[in-house]
Amino acid sequence: MKRRPRRSTPATLTAVVLLAACAVVAVVAIQTILGETPWLSYKTAADALHGARWNDLIPALAGGGAVLLGVVLLLTAFLPGRLTVLPLEGELDSGASRRSYRSTLRTAASTVDGVSGAKLKLKRRKVFAKVTTGRTTTDGLADAVRAAIEHRLDQITPALRPTVKVKVHAARSAS
């Protein structure tokens, strides 16, 4: 099971901009029908557009901005996002959420003797663990943490097994 994030931010942004434009057009149309002075005068807008030339700065900037916005929206729609559910091996179509996956691995790292705190970062093919210890000598601690995380990965059996990198930070240094 591979689940990717929804593309709700670009869709919401586009919908809000279109809704605002439609609301302005509707208000101006209603004001014109009622015979009131509209917010935006059609004559003023038409005169400004008819007076503009393609090689002027304002149409070039507006066109460039529209193209840039379109490219950004297309890229966010087509490029795959980071997996929210990581696939697991097995016959069943199963997965684990990124949050629970990271939490389980962080717990495995923090249960190693001598580790006072652990932080984990999940990348596509790597797990970065940064552990803190109160020990003055950190010999073998990184290997123990790596072994604990790899043991937990053996239990979880992810479809794509990440490599484990461990960095140990000693709160006190040997003097």
CB 4 within 8 A of CB 77: no
CB count within 10 Å of CB 175 equals 4
**This model's pTM is above 0.75:** no
119 Cβ contact list (under 8 Å, min separation 6): 106, 129, 130, 131
> Ramachandran region of residue 90, left (φ > 0), alpha (ψ -120 to 50) or beta?
left
Q: What is the pLDDT of residues 66-81, one digit of tens each?
A: 999 889 888 887 877 7
Which part of the chain is CATH 3.30.70.1350? 85-170
Q: What is the pLDDT of residues 137-146, one digit of tens each?
A: 888 899 999 9
Rounded CA gap, 6 and 12, in Å? 11
Domain 85-170 annotated CATH 3.30.70.1350: yes
Rounded CA gap, 129 and 120, in Å? 5
**Is residue 89 pLDDT above 90, yes or no?**
no
Widest Cα–Cα separation across the chain: 86
